Chains A and B, each alone.
Chain A
Amino acid sequence: NAGVTQTPKFQVLKTGQSMTLQCAQDMNHEYMSWYRQDPGMGLRLIHYSVGAGITDQGEVPNGYNVSRSTTEDFPLRLLSAAPSQTSVYFCASSRDWGMQYFGPGTRLTVL
């Protein structure tokens, strides 16, 4: 199993640009989440999904959209990038709300 994969590993955007961070898992997990990690802030939940077609907001959802059309994929869209969205983004999946498997992360810089 590849586990949780994320692409790209690094990305630089200009303010106002949009992009999609990709996340995929091959463990048939129902639960998937997106977090951002900033120095001194810890991991913060952006959006999560409890199954295909079902998404909900986490602690810091503004500026981000998600969709879950398949069990495997959970992309995160930045609609109009802002410097405040410079961060490391992690995708995670789990069978239930227990042990989470994290991807390797995407390091995003917005200029």
Chain B
Amino acid sequence: SQKIEQNSEALNIQEGKTATLTCNYTNYSPAYLQWYRQDPGRGPVFLLLIRENEKEKRKERLKVTFDTTLKQSLFHITASQPADSATYLCALGDGNQFYFGTGTSLTVIP
């Protein structure tokens, strides 16, 4: 099975700055990788999916990169806002199985 590591420390940034979250995996490269947002007491909400043959994906203020050589995905939120404060999870798809990281807690300070 995959072992997935995300920033273990909570991330605090000033409003307007770019937040960068890291997802590292240890075994074989998955066919695709996903990022989710989770607010306290709620279920995760899908944000972006990137496939192994894609280097970068963008959606509004969000950008995801996927480096199969480094076995790493980076998740960027540009022009961050207090409403972006949440926990962000990465997930790797492997056939019919999904493996999730423990998540990184992001706080955007006004």
| Co-complex (A, B) | yes
Q: Which A positions have Cβ atoms within 8 angstroms of B?
A: 4, 33, 35, 40-45, 48, 50, 56, 58-59, 90, 92, 97-105
- Please classify the interface of chain A as helix (H, G, I), strand (E, B), loop, or mixed, using the class held by over half of its residues: strand
The count of A-to-B residue pairs whose CB atoms sit within 8 angstroms is 56
In angstroms, Cα B97 to Cα A58, docked, is 7
B43 neighbours in A (Cβ, 8 Å): 4, 90, 92, 102-105
Contact call A98/B96, Cβ cutoff below 8 A: no
- Give me the interface of B with A, judged by CB distance under 8 Å: 1, 4, 32, 34, 36, 41-46, 49, 89, 91, 93, 96-103
A33-B98 contact given A98-B32, A98-B49, A99-B49, CB 8 Å threshold: yes
Q: How far is the CA of A98 from the CA of B34 in the complex (A)?
A: 8
**Cβ-defined contact, A45 with B97, below 8 A:** yes
Contact A42 B97 (CB under 8 A): no
Q: Is the CB of A56 within 8 A of B96?
A: yes
- For the complex, what is the distance from the CA of A100 to the CA of B99, rounded to whole Å? 13
